[in-house]
Structure 1
């Protein structure tokens, strides 16, 4: 399939309009209509329901959206790897949720670039579901995540156990209140466990889906919240943060996920370096 058809479909789906899609892609509306017609002929199903208010995805269109995204990603990945091939002997694409970058993966990337400078590296942040999809479609070579599912063709290896602990920057003699509580989203498992342990805090006044960047808030404002211990260890040691007594902690296993069918000679030094980086967190 021409990847342009997939891109056109996604643009119409995003804008909800053939006219706006044509404007965004700098082509005529008739060109957009012809491309969508060609795509619908190929698939044998209408992808949009047209009306005077715009274009809405049909059931078939909703189902095709994830495949269109995958087609575009695969094409972009191919362009990236081919473009890098003249200067690098290989290319590693890997991803992880945002929370793993600080104090862990950025250090590993630094080691990787120093140890294997002839390997190009591209990295991205994302949630487990998207990372798994990209592993299956072949646009990722390696992913780090909590409690992954295991589709056929992927291997899962335990790296370390993540301990998420309650920390506070409020003065010692200050009584904490729910208005000072900061909820950081550390994934669906944490959300469920946190809601069960602290139902009164499920409607906290401040919810931040920004991962480790939330540390900057708690360091500059009197607040309390949960963070991975590896992210706050130095602040606990320096006294800028402290752990409330008798507070519950949450522990989640962290895994690396990679293809079962792989070049083991090329992969093993990379995986070995990641294992060593994870061991230093213990």
Structure 2
């Protein structure tokens, strides 16, 4: 069976749109339709129904979906196994972009000490892509802000980081100007958290989704924004910004995620323990399962 048929089926399960799946896979809509027909022909059952209301899975499609995800995950793992040179196991780790400057070198050292003889590939990315990579097996572990809960994925809360409001203009919340305020969009949940704290600033015209970019913008253009605590302290020490002392901090939870197939493997359990220890408030944070 051609693996692109499985990839197309899984993507269509998510989008429920032949056109959207074609865009995401960079193929034509007729190619998507042809792949679905070929897969249905191989299985001897229809997988989707199409109507004006949209595209829906048939009963057969619903039954096939978990097997398709398992096939794609196994295929990706097999490709990595064949590609690993010299018999060296490679662990692929995704990490939220904003976390690269926090405990990153320590994590690398801890992982290498705990799993000697293992090669590591670290990639900074955003939560949505990391969750997709965990699903397919392209990543073994992800450290992220926004879990995408799914029966095939396991997530644990491993700690949290703090964002503080700083300003080049004022140290009082009442004097923060909407026209020079930059909205934080570091995770999917942050706009809602922010709106609850500061409804007056929720309609600011500029929003940034990365801490490094936010710091650069404050240094070049000025204004007021939430930045990661170490960045806030550095900006204040440099005299670039002042702390807006009466603005409440925003706490962003940090999660670790992996495929359920890997949840009980010793190497993955060891990496999870290390991540808890680095991001937990004091030593290893208690593990908490978050379901779909």
User: Normalised by the size of structure 1, how large is the TM-score?
Assistant: 0.69
Matched, 1:21 2:27: yes
The corresponding residue for 2:57 is: 60
Distance of 2:130 and 2:198 partners within structure 1:
30
Q: CA deviation at 1:241?
A: 2.4
Name the CA shift for 1:278/1:48 in 2 (closer, same or farther; >3 Å).
Answer: same
Q: CA deviation at 1:72?
A: 5.2
Q: How many residues align?
A: 263
Matched, 1:226 2:229: no
The corresponding residue for 2:109 is: 111
- Checking the alignment, whether the CA contact within 8 Å between 1:230 and 1:281 is kept in structure 2 is no
Matched, 1:156 2:159: no
- Checking the alignment, whether the CA contact within 8 Å between 1:93 and 1:141 is kept in structure 2 is yes
User: Normalised by the size of structure 2, how large is the TM-score?
Assistant: 0.67
Name the CA shift for 1:267/1:89 in 2 (closer, same or farther; >3 Å).
Answer: farther
Give secondary structure in 1 for the equivalent of 2:57.
helix
Distance of 1:255 and 1:8 partners within structure 2:
29
Q: Which moved more, 1:96-105 or 1:146-155?
A: 146-155
Give secondary structure in 2 for the equivalent of 1:215.
helix
The corresponding residue for 2:289 is: none
Q: CA deviation at 1:96?
A: 3.3
Structure 1: unaligned runs, 5 residues or longer: 51-55
**Residues 70-85 of structure 1 correspond to what in structure 2 (within 5 A)?**
75-84=75-84
The corresponding residue for 1:53 is: none
Distance of 2:186 and 2:169 partners within structure 1:
22
Distance of 1:57 and 1:121 partners within structure 2:
42
- Checking the alignment, whether the CA contact within 8 Å between 1:178 and 1:204 is kept in structure 2 is yes
Name the CA shift for 1:176/1:88 in 2 (closer, same or farther; >3 Å).
Answer: farther
Name the CA shift for 1:179/1:240 in 2 (closer, same or farther; >3 Å).
Answer: same
Structure 2: unaligned runs, 5 residues or longer: 13-17, 284-292
The corresponding residue for 2:251 is: 251
Give secondary structure in 2 for the equivalent of 1:186.
coil
1:74-132, Cα deviation, whole Å (9 max, x unpaired): 53443233212x23532212223322223343x246536865673222334232x6645
Give secondary structure in 1 for the equivalent of 2:265.
coil
Q: CA deviation at 1:181?
A: 0.4
**Residues 69-218 of structure 1 correspond to what in structure 2 (within 5 A)?**
75-84=75-84, 86-87=85-86, 89-105=88-104, 107-108=105-106, 110-111=108-109, 115=113, 118-124=117-123, 125-127=125-127, 131=130, 135=134, 138-146=137-145, 154=154, 156=156, 158=158, 160-170=159-169, 176-218=176-218
Name the CA shift for 1:157/1:171 in 2 (closer, same or farther; >3 Å).
Answer: closer
- Checking the alignment, whether the CA contact within 8 Å between 1:167 and 1:225 is kept in structure 2 is yes
